[in-house]
């Protein structure tokens, strides 16, 4: 047991280590079964605690774990690979026999040495380079599945998930494929050596294997040195060494060769085994990805969040500091439990739930964050996507062998089941009936998945007339599950034949058994509304994405004025319902040409008659915008949806109102596509990642970030939705989005990276 780091003499009370903290043991029991669940108490009661068992401070909440990752100077990664259990003298002697001299690699290296190396060696990891590996990964996965597809029962780990990532890692590093069995033994030993708690008698055997691993790495490197022209990360490193010998040293390359195999292999093998277990345990989700492979990229991300293969990581406090409310003395060791952070309800709604349509899955910290964030994350994502694509296509009827016990190698950090036994009826393999399924491909988009691809199937329950030329369409989940939550102002995207259209939700946000949208048949329709009115029938199914809300109601306003033109009433009616329920003062101006064609009048009259003014040209009481808005009123927010004509008139009429009083719903952006002849190139400094990147005149900041392997979520990519927002630390931004208010723009604290640019030559972001 390690000594308590807190000066008891300075305290009036006893030792502050709570009973739960004292009994925390990451090598056994609950933590090994489910680390995130075993630390729920900590997230809720004691998010930073000292564990006498391991002598580490344990950090469990999302915001704290991310803050630790963000500052790699205050929280040094130097102990990331330190043995968690002290090595016995005999084991040390065994390692010495093999001249074992593992030194720092990228992952545990401090600045200023780390960043120049990371930069020098990053190129092979960028999406542009990784696409070249896709055919190799597909070929390998196909070959392994061919071997067992007709067998009916298999351990996925032994037959595929262990060896494929190892072979991919070897290809990526540029090493030969031979000696795979030995390597497999060595790399297990390496995990136990670093993260596990080997018994004293085991330590020597582990050290033997680690020593052999070290020697093997050295031999291969020497072979490569004779001809460093090959593909792969190591030959690339050898070539960089010729130009920058002080940045990429010999000892570094030898260490990196061994660490690189471990980094790329076990992490991905474990992550894939976790993913198969999780998806097959949630059979209906498995079914969904079989039916709609476009869900696979986000499913991978959600698996990495919910059951990632790196359960915890380590940092060392280099100065006295605080995390949350807790003082952390200089020299403290931190176990930052990413698996716990990834299920923190404060960041991920109902964090324990497995939801492959979760919009912020890729915020997970399984790949770390900031200047040391995993360089190989996009290779890992690609492998996992291809595994799932291949198996869901060829063995959709696969199921877990019932009642199997899942075992895990006891250690703090790397996590994946030793075996995942699955079974199926080979006579029912779809390829026996239709060999063309083998030609199907779900294209891999290297990088973080885009939210715009997260779709779900809905069934049309009813199509009912709502007014002249307007129908209400009621949608539900075909399996009767609740649809996702939404708030007034939200819309969904629906695929109608070859078109995608956006419609505001206009039903009751408290009733998640159904959605309602109202669709007007437009005379100039390119087909969307015509399809709804003339082709769509009750009982049909549709693909839907969303809901999303770019038109949110400000809950703090004292008073609301709602202005709707025609079918623009759909988001407004739910906002008015909300204002009424919240007891707010509000008025609705509803404009249309002819009352008979104005949808939802009955509902408005029933629920909002005292607040409603109907303006119709046929009635001769058109809305006199200039008069209604002549007097600017404080604490009043105006929300409007309708034709562009109405919106521009409102903008003009409210110009003298307090800033940010008017909110309008744009379904499509009026942003022109980027015209490089009118733009200039500039620099973006990324403070957390320690990088400076160039944004070319024909590139968005978002594109430039992704090309440099920086993850950033995006959705609309037209400045409408706010998902690509990044915090700005310095430099003036040329804001071009429709998300930020005038005041927010003037504060210059954040920008939408999909469209906004630098006014000058440089901006600095907290990424």
Euclidean distance between CA atoms 422 and 454, whole angstroms: 27
Return the number of other C-beta atoms located less than 10 Å from residue 139's C-beta.
11
Residue 500 binding partner per list ligand FES, ligand HEM, none, with a CB distance cut-off of 5 to 8 Å that depends on partner kind: none
Of these, 714, 728, 757, 758, which contacts ligand FES (CB under 6 A)? 714
Q: Count interface residues toward ligand FES (CB under 6 A).
A: 14
φ, ψ of residue 594 to 5 degrees: the values are -140, 125
Tell me how far, at minimum, the Cβ of 137 lies from ligand FES, in Å. Answer: 29
Contact stretch for ligand HEM (CB under 6 A) within 343-351, 370-378, 684-692, 706-714: 370-378
Six-digit token string for 574: 């739910």
- Which lies closer to ligand HEM via its Cβ, residue 107 or residue 496? 107
Of these, 164, 561, 739, 751, which contacts ligand FES (CB under 6 A)? 739
Of these, 57, 144, 252, 313, which contacts ligand HEM (CB under 6 A)? 313
Contact stretch for ligand FES (CB under 6 A) within 282-290, 347-355, 596-604, 708-716: 708-716
Euclidean distance between CA atoms 292 and 283, whole angstroms: 14
Instruction: For residue 264, state whether it binds ligand HEM (rule: CB under 6 A).
Output: yes
Contact stretch for ligand HEM (CB under 6 A) within 210-218, 372-380, 520-528, 564-572: 372-380
480: alpha, beta or left, given left = phi > 0 and alpha = psi -120 to 50? left
Nearby residues of 393 by Cβ (< 8 Å), 6 or more positions away: 290, 293, 430, 437, 438, 440
- Which lies closer to ligand HEM via its Cβ, residue 271 or residue 296? 271
Return the number of other C-beta atoms located less than 10 Å from residue 637's C-beta.
24
Of these, 375, 542, 557, 599, which contacts ligand HEM (CB under 6 A)? 375
3-state secondary structure of 247: coil
- Cβ-contact 86, 54 below 8 angstroms: no
Tell me how far, at minimum, the Cβ of 116 lies from ligand HEM, in Å. Answer: 11
Nearest to 175 by CA among 237, 114, 121, 120: 237
Of these, 170, 379, 647, 754, which contacts ligand HEM (CB under 6 A)? 379
Mutual orientation of helices 296-306 and 250-281 as an angle, nearest 10°?
A: 100
- Which lies closer to ligand FES via its Cβ, residue 274 or residue 504? 504
Contact stretch for ligand HEM (CB under 6 A) within 23-31, 363-371, 492-500, 672-680: 363-371
Of these, 24, 31, 50, 69, which contacts ligand HEM (CB under 6 A)? 69
Q: How many residues does the chain have?
A: 767
Instruction: For residue 704, state whether it binds ligand FES (rule: CB under 6 A).
Output: no
Instruction: For residue 733, state whether it binds ligand FES (rule: CB under 6 A).
Output: no
Instruction: For residue 471, state whether it binds ligand HEM (rule: CB under 6 A).
Output: no
Tell me how far, at minimum, the Cβ of 671 lies from ligand FES, in Å. Answer: 10
Of these, 42, 94, 267, 654, which contacts ligand HEM (CB under 6 A)? 267
Residue 264 binding partner per list ligand HEM, ligand FES, none, with a CB distance cut-off of 5 to 8 Å that depends on partner kind: ligand HEM
Residue 717 binding partner per list ligand FES, ligand HEM, none, with a CB distance cut-off of 5 to 8 Å that depends on partner kind: ligand FES
Contact stretch for ligand HEM (CB under 6 A) within 148-156, 246-254, 324-332, 375-383: 375-383
Contact stretch for ligand HEM (CB under 6 A) within 373-381, 451-459, 509-517, 553-561: 373-381
Euclidean distance between CA atoms 503 and 519, whole angstroms: 8
Return the number of other C-beta atoms located less than 10 Å from residue 539's C-beta.
9
Instruction: For residue 752, state whether it binds ligand FES (rule: CB under 6 A).
Output: yes
Tell me how far, at minimum, the Cβ of 693 lies from ligand HEM, in Å. Answer: 16
Instruction: For residue 308, state whether it binds ligand FES (rule: CB under 6 A).
Output: no
Which residue has the CB atom at the shortest distance from ligand HEM? 376
Tell me how far, at minimum, the Cβ of 766 lies from ligand FES, in Å. Answer: 17
Instruction: For residue 705, state whether it binds ligand FES (rule: CB under 6 A).
Output: no
Contact stretch for ligand FES (CB under 6 A) within 72-80, 204-212, 367-375, 721-729: 721-729
Residue 375 binding partner per list ligand FES, ligand HEM, none, with a CB distance cut-off of 5 to 8 Å that depends on partner kind: ligand HEM
3-state secondary structure of 729: strand
- Which lies closer to ligand FES via its Cβ, residue 458 or residue 721? 721
Nearest to 754 by CA among 723, 730, 732: 723
Euclidean distance between CA atoms 682 and 264, whole angstroms: 34
- Cβ-contact 303, 384 below 8 angstroms: yes
Instruction: For residue 517, state whether it binds ligand HEM (rule: CB under 6 A).
Output: no
Secondary structure letter of residue 488 according to DSSP? T
Tell me how far, at minimum, the Cβ of 75 lies from ligand HEM, in Å. Answer: 10
Nearest to 207 by CA among 220, 219, 217, 194: 194
Euclidean distance between CA atoms 143 and 135, whole angstroms: 12
- Which lies closer to ligand FES via its Cβ, residue 258 or residue 704? 704
Residue 737 binding partner per list ligand HEM, ligand FES, none, with a CB distance cut-off of 5 to 8 Å that depends on partner kind: ligand FES
Tell me how far, at minimum, the Cβ of 494 lies from ligand HEM, in Å. Answer: 34
Contact stretch for ligand FES (CB under 6 A) within 71-79, 409-417, 470-478, 716-724: 716-724
Nearest to 126 by CA among 717, 596, 691: 691
Concatenate the DSSP letters of all residues of 359-382 into one string.
TTGGG--TT--GGG--TTHHHHHH
Residue 60 binding partner per list ligand FES, ligand HEM, none, with a CB distance cut-off of 5 to 8 Å that depends on partner kind: none
Instruction: For residue 26, state whether it binds ligand HEM (rule: CB under 6 A).
Output: no
Mutual orientation of helices 283-291 and 250-281 as an angle, nearest 10°?
A: 100
Instruction: For residue 118, state whether it binds ligand HEM (rule: CB under 6 A).
Output: yes
Of these, 579, 604, 720, 751, which contacts ligand FES (CB under 6 A)? 720
Instruction: For residue 600, state whether it binds ligand FES (rule: CB under 6 A).
Output: no
Six-digit token string for 686: 């990324």
Concatenate the DSSP letters of all residues of 545-568 into one string.
EEEE-SS---TT-SEEEEEEEGGG
φ, ψ of residue 317 to 5 degrees: the values are -75, 125
Of these, 367, 486, 551, 639, which contacts ligand HEM (CB under 6 A)? 367
Secondary structure letter of residue 611 according to DSSP? G
φ, ψ of residue 516 to 5 degrees: the values are -125, 140
Nearby residues of 502 by Cβ (< 8 Å), 6 or more positions away: 491, 492, 493, 494, 667
Return the number of other C-beta atoms located less than 10 Å from residue 513's C-beta.
14
Tell me how far, at minimum, the Cβ of 754 lies from ligand FES, in Å. Answer: 3
Contact stretch for ligand HEM (CB under 6 A) within 3-11, 202-210, 309-317, 434-442: 309-317
Instruction: Identify the burial level of 753 via C-beta atoms within 10 angstroms of its C-beta, where 0-12 means exposed, 13-18 middle and 19 or more buried.
Output: buried
Six-digit token string for 695: 């944004």
- Cβ-contact 94, 211 below 8 angstroms: yes
Concatenate the DSSP letters of all residues of 436-462 into one string.
GGGG-------SSPPGGG-EEEEEEEE
Of these, 124, 417, 719, 731, which contacts ligand FES (CB under 6 A)? 719
Contact stretch for ligand FES (CB under 6 A) within 14-22, 79-87, 124-132, 719-727: 719-727
- Which lies closer to ligand HEM via its Cβ, residue 118 or residue 533? 118
Residue 188 binding partner per list ligand FES, ligand HEM, none, with a CB distance cut-off of 5 to 8 Å that depends on partner kind: none
Q: Cα dist. 330→71, 115, 700 in Å?
A: 15, 24, 41
Q: How far apart are the first and last CA of the chain?
A: 39
Nearest to 639 by CA among 619, 654, 621: 654
Q: What does the binding site for ligand HEM look like in residue numbers (CB under 6 A)?
A: 69, 77, 106-107, 118, 172, 263-264, 267-268, 271, 308-310, 313, 366-370, 372-376, 379-380
Q: Kindly list the residues in this chain that would bind ligand FES in the complex (CB under 6 A).
A: 714-717, 719-724, 737, 739, 752, 754
């Amino acid at each position: 047991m390690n000594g308590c780091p807190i000066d008891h003499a300075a305290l009036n009370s006893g030792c502050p280590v709570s009973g739960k903290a004292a009994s925390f043991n990451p090598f056994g029991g609950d933590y090994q079964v489910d680390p995130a669940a075993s630390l729920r108490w900590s997230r809720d009661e004691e998010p930073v605690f000292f564990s006498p068992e391991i002598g580490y401070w344990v950090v469990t909440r999302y915001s704290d774990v991310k803050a630790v990752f963000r500052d790699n100077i205050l929280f040094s990664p130097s102990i990331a690979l330190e043995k968690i259990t002290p090595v016995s003298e005999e084991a040390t002697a065994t390692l010495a026999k093999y001249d074992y001299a593992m030194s720092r690699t990228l992952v545990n290296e401090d600045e200023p040495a780390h960043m120049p190396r990371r930069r020098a060696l990053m190129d092979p990891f960028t999406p542009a380079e990784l696409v070249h590996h896709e055919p190799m990964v597909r070929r390998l996965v196909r070959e392994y599945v061919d071997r067992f597809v007709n067998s009916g029962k298999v351990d996925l780990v032994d037959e595929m998930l262990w060896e494929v990532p190892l072979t991919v890692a070897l290809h990526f590093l540029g090493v030969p494929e031979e000696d795979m069995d030995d390597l497999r033994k060595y790399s297990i030993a390496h995990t136990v050596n670093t993260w596990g708690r080997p018994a004293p008698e085991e330590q020597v055997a582990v050290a033997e294997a680690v020593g052999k691993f070290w020697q093997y790495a050295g031999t291969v490197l020497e072979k490569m040195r004779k001809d460093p022209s090959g593909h792969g990360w190591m030959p690339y490193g050898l070539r960089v060494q010729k130009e920058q010998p002080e940045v990429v040293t010999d000892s570094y390359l030898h260490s990196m060769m061994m660490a690189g195999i471990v980094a790329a292999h076990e992490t991905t093998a474990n992550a894939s085994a976790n993913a198969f277990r999780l998806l097959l345990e949630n059979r209906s989700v498995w079914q969904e990805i079989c039916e709609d492979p476009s869900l696979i990229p986000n499913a991978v991300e959600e698996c990495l969040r919910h059951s990632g293969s790196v359960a915890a990581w380590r940092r060392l406090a280099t100065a006295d500091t605080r995390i949350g409310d807790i003082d952390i003395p200089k020299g403290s060791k931190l176990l930052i439990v990413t698996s716990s952070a990834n299920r923190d309800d404060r960041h991920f709604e109902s964090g324990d739930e497995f939801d492959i349509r979760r919009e912020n899955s890729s915020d997970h910290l399984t790949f770390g964050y900031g200047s040391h964030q995993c360089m190989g994350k996009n290779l890992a994502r690609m492998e996992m996507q291809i595994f799932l694509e291949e198996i869901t296509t060829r063995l959709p009827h696969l199921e877990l062998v019932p009642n199997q016990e899942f075992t895990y190698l006891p250690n703090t950090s790397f996590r994946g089941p030793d075996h995942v036994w699955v079974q199926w009826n080979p006579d029912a393999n779809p390829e026996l009936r239709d060999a063309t399924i083998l030609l199907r491909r779900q294209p891999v988009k290297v990088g973080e998945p885009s939210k715009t691809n997260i779709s779900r199937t809905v069934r049309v329950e009813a199509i009912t007339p709502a007014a002249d030329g307007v129908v209400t369409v009621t949608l539900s989940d075909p399996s009767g599950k609740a649809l996702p939550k939404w708030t007034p102002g939200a819309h969904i995207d629906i695929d109608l034949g070859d078109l995608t259209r956006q419609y505001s939700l206009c039903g009751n946000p408290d009733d998640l058994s159904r959605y309602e949208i109202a669709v007007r048949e437009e005379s100039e329709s390119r087909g969307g509304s015509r399809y709804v009115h003339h082709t769509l029938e009750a009982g049909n199914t549709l693909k839907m994405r969303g809901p999303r809300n770019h038109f949110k109601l400000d809950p703090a306003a004292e008073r609301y004025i709602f202005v709707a033109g025609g079918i623009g009433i759909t988001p407004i009616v739910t906002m008015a319902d909300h204002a009424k329920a919240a007891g707010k003062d509000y008025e609705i101006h509803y404009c249309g040409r002819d009352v008979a064609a104005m949808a939802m009048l009955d509902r408005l009259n029933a629920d909002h008659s005292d607040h409603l003014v109907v303006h119709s040209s046929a009635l001769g009481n058109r809305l006199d915008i200039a008069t209604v808005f002549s007097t600017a009123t404080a604490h009043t927010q105006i929300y409007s949806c309708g034709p562009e004509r109405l919106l521009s008139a409102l903008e003009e009429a409210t110009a003298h109102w307090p800033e940010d009083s008017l909110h309008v719903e744009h379904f499509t952006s009026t942003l022109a596509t980027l015209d490089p002849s009118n733009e200039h190139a500039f620099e973006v400094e990324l403070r957390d990642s320690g990088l400076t990147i160039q944004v070319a005149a024909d590139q968005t900041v978002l594109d430039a970030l992704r090309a440099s392997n920086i993850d950033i979520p995006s959705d609309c990519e037209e400045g409408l939705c706010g998902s690509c927002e990044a915090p700005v630390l310095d430099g003036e931004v040329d804001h071009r989005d429709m998300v930020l208010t005038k005041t927010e723009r003037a504060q210059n604290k954040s920008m939408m990276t999909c469209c906004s640019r630098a006014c000058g030559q440089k901006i600095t972001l907290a990424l």
